[in-house]
Amino acid sequence: MKIRVAIIEDHDDFREGLYHILEGTEGFHCVGRYASVEQAMKSLPKADVYLMDIGLPGKSGIEGAKLIKSQYPDAQVIMLTVFEDDKSIFQAVAYGANGYLLKSASPVKILNAIEEAVTGGMPMTPLVARKVVEMFKRHMPQPREKIALTEREKEILKLLVDGLNYSMIGEKLFISLDTVRNHIRHIYEKLHVHSKSHAVAKALKSNLV
């Protein structure tokens, strides 16, 4: 079966060029070509892959990707654009784009990307792929550090965070000053810190109290 492709691109020559590449290559069929998201959404045909520009008149290609995904969740959307800035890439992927290529890509690379998307891949140029990896690293929450404090150590650390000094902690918990110091020494060792301020900062950052 032929791979059904729809094109949403406002540059006439580029759009027609893509159309002729698809129709002139065995295994591909263009089911529609449009100059804007609004035009496409009036009678959006079901396609296996949608080639989408970002800088379109009216709604952007990123908005278009979201609309297409809402109508055809299993469709593959490949952004084909001149934009390679972090914001455009991140928004496109966040809104459901399955691939991201620059318009400078050769016809062979575009056809290969379409085939890759249909088979479950996420076609991207090496530069874009690196940017996506780095962006997800930056936005990925850090794993919570496992710190095995005893219940008494947690109790004392909470009092440190609340601003109590060693004597006040001893009085509140009915333990000796030496016992407080001993617990705090163990807390410092487990938190890998060397001062009260660092212990409090780490307790708050790691959500320990």
Condensed to tens digits (0 to 9), the pLDDT of residues 64-109 reads 999 998 899 889 999 998 988 888 888 888 788 888 999 999 999 9
Statement to judge: residues 128 and 179 lie in one domain = no
Check whether 209 has a pLDDT greater than 80.
Answer: no
Point out the domain boundary residue: 114, 139, 164. Answer: 139
For the chain, the distance separating the N- and C-terminal CA atoms, rounded to the nearest angstrom, is 60
Mean pLDDT of the chain: 88
Span 57-68, mean pLDDT?
A: 93
- pTM score, whole prediction: 0.64
pLDDT tier at 144, thresholds 50, 70, 90: low
The model's pLDDT over 184-203, given as tens digits with 9 standing for 90+, comes to: 999 989 988 877 777 888 88
Check whether 138 has a pLDDT greater than 70.
Answer: no
Statement to judge: residues 56 and 122 lie in one domain = yes
Q: Do the domain assignments include residue 146?
A: no
**DSSP codes, 135-201:** HHHHHSPPPPP-----HHHHHHHHHHHTT--HHHHHHHHT--HHHHHHHHHHHHHHHT-SSHHHHHH
Span 46-70, mean pLDDT?
A: 94
Q: What is the pLDDT of residue 176?
A: 94
Statement to judge: residues 56 and 119 lie in one domain = yes
Statement to judge: residues 121 and 198 lie in one domain = no
Top pLDDT among 36 and 139 is at: 36
User: What range defines the domain where residue 116 resides?
Assistant: 3-139
Top pLDDT among 7 and 74 is at: 7
- CATH code at position 88: 3.40.50.2300
Point out the domain boundary residue: 90, 105, 139. Answer: 139
